[in-house]
Structure 1
Amino acid sequence: MPHAQELARLALDIAREAGELARLRRSEGVAIAATKSALADIVTEADREVEALVRDLLGRARPDDGFVGEESGAEESLSGITWVVDPIDGTVNYAYGIPHYAVSIAAVSGDPDPERWTALVGVVFNPASGELYHAVRGEGAWLGERRLAVSTPSDAGALLATGFGYDPATHEGDFARLRTVMPLARDIRRAGAASLDLAYVAAGRLDGYYERGLHAWDHAAGGLLVSEAGGLLGGAPGGRPGRELTIAAGPELFPRLVAALGT
């Protein structure tokens, strides 16, 4: 098993290169390649190109590792390490020119399923702002050279973030969940990139975050940032981040958020 720091150095280097490609393609203009689960759920040509770059660079450096990406098929691991990648998280922001999107890269060991894996490394890079978050299991979470720590809400309430699904049929449930957490909130943010919402919880910029419908690549890297910054990560099914729900917050807010959401 490689040392986690070795994996982190590789992930950081690749995230920078992939982020620069995403930024360059954004400056050239964005072409929509396809839709996914709904008409609003888009894939850009840049998503595919950036994922291909990440996959190629990882394959050259560590050919026996597995790969799970948003835009291409999975590859089984022969080494016990799997890379979980979202090439451009926040694709709608990216397509509209909103500078809030990220390259998300995680290395996990064991079964590449969020209910069973052990996250070793997480990197989240926003090419538009230049902010580069990273975490190594047991060694903390960082924004550049600054160690991160989750926040504790003030008496005014918690600053919470969430997201809504692209399928209109899910919106009523999303709004119902929002109503249940409003008594805890001083305000709500809906910024459109799950990996950055999780990074912001780790950095104390948000007190908490929850969202239904996330995939493994949406929370793999950001979830490790939260836990390594002293926060808690949960959801459903099984009390872990999953398609039914992902929840992240500091230890004081987390149980209150879980109770409000009924998980």
Structure 2
Amino acid sequence: MDDAQLAAELVREAGSLAAAMRRDGLDAETKTHVSDIVTAADRAAERLVVERLREARPDDAIVGEEGADHTGTSGRTWVIDPVDGTYNFHRGLDWWCSALALVDGDDVVLGAVHHPQQDATYVGGPGLPPTRDAVPMAPLEDRPLAECCATTYLHPPFYDGEVGAAFARAVAGVATLRMMGSGTLDAMAIAEGRCDVLFQHSVPDWDRLPGAAIVRGVGGESRVVEAGGRSWHVLGVPSAVAEVCDRLEQE
């Protein structure tokens, strides 16, 4: 089984397990913030993926949001987000997914995402034409920021100060804005042309890499820039990414 097939299987299994556990009822624990939580489903889904990867790719490293950390010898690393959008997941909202990325050397080569609500599985990367349920995805249509639907998230405590000012500069250039609660599913909306650009600060690899791989595969761009004392991930159609980065970096 090749890497893309394996990744697609793993995110489908992880997403299905999490969805089944949610139907049975779940408690949540707070991590860093009232909206930053973890459930037993996050941990169980991550264990499932880790066990399968350890068997199928024993020489590869593994890093997971919920603590998985295995050293490898191949130079490749699998990055796991068992449930992206856990707050949505726990509150009964449907904008959540299971995601996985493969990094080889210094760059991501593969992303896989499963959205249980739509039973949709996305796989692809910068050198692997992305698909949704094995159907090729269309290239992105570039457009200026002023015509873009942006998707993002900013915790209310950050609305003031330098971070809030940087965010306001970026938001001022867009046509409309959505805050939906799963950065990876937001990236899939961009990959399918339903949104156009994403920007968010302090994004860990498991929240950034699966979506970035697939968006880059359909002609989008992914950049990390410094603004307001934070690192911002900007993802989407090329013209909008360039303008958002310019706006964020203005002082």
TM-score by length of 1: 0.87
Which residue in the other structure is 2:239 paired with?
252
Q: Note if contact 1:194-1:218 (Cα within 8 Å) is conserved in structure 2.
A: yes
Superposed, 1:202-241 pairs within 5 Å as 202-236=191-225
Q: Determine the C-alpha separation between the residues in 2 that align with 1:55 and 1:134.
A: 19
Structure 1 position 161 matched with structure 2 position 151: yes
Structure 1 position 171 matched with structure 2 position 171: no
Which residue in the other structure is 1:54 paired with?
49
Structure 1 position 151 matched with structure 2 position 141: yes
Which of 15, 18, 26 is the aligned partner of 1:22? 18
SS in 1 for 2:101: strand
Q: Determine the C-alpha separation between the residues in 1 that align with 2:75 and 2:89.
A: 33
Which of 3, 10, 25 is the aligned partner of 2:6? 10
- Higher mean Cα deviation, 250-259 or 12-21? 250-259
Question: In structure 2, do the counterparts of structure 1 residues 39 and 182 end up closer, same or farther at CA, with 3 Å as the change threshold?
Answer: closer
In structure 1, stretches of 5+ residues that fail to align are: 111-116
Q: Determine the C-alpha separation between the residues in 2 that align with 1:214 and 1:60.
A: 29
Note the aligned Cα RMSD (angstroms). 2.1
Compute the displacement of 1:42 (Å).
0.7
Residue 177 of structure 2 aligns with an amino acid whose one-letter code is I
Compute the displacement of 1:169 (Å).
4.0
Which of 92, 97, 116 is the aligned partner of 2:92? 97
Structure 1 position 180 matched with structure 2 position 169: yes
Post-superposition CA distance 1:65-117 (Å, at most 9, x none) = 1101000141111122210010000000000000110111011112xxxxxx2
Post-superposition CA distance 1:126-158 (Å, at most 9, x none) = 111112111034122222203232233379621
User: Which structure shows the higher strand fraction?
Assistant: 2
Structure 1 position 142 matched with structure 2 position 142: no
Question: In structure 2, do the counterparts of structure 1 residues 212 and 151 end up closer, same or farther at CA, with 3 Å as the change threshold?
Answer: same
After the TM superposition, which segments of 4 or more aligned residues of structure 1 sit over 6 Å from their partners? none
Structure 1 position 31 matched with structure 2 position 27: yes
Question: In structure 2, do the counterparts of structure 1 residues 155 and 177 end up closer, same or farther at CA, with 3 Å as the change threshold?
Answer: closer
In structure 2, stretches of 5+ residues that fail to align are: none
Q: Determine the C-alpha separation between the residues in 1 that align with 2:209 and 2:198.
A: 15
Percent identity for Structure 1 against Structure 2:
30
Question: In structure 2, do the counterparts of structure 1 residues 182 and 120 end up closer, same or farther at CA, with 3 Å as the change threshold?
Answer: closer
Post-superposition CA distance 1:192-219 (Å, at most 9, x none) = 0011111221211111110011101001
- Higher mean Cα deviation, 207-216 or 229-238? 229-238
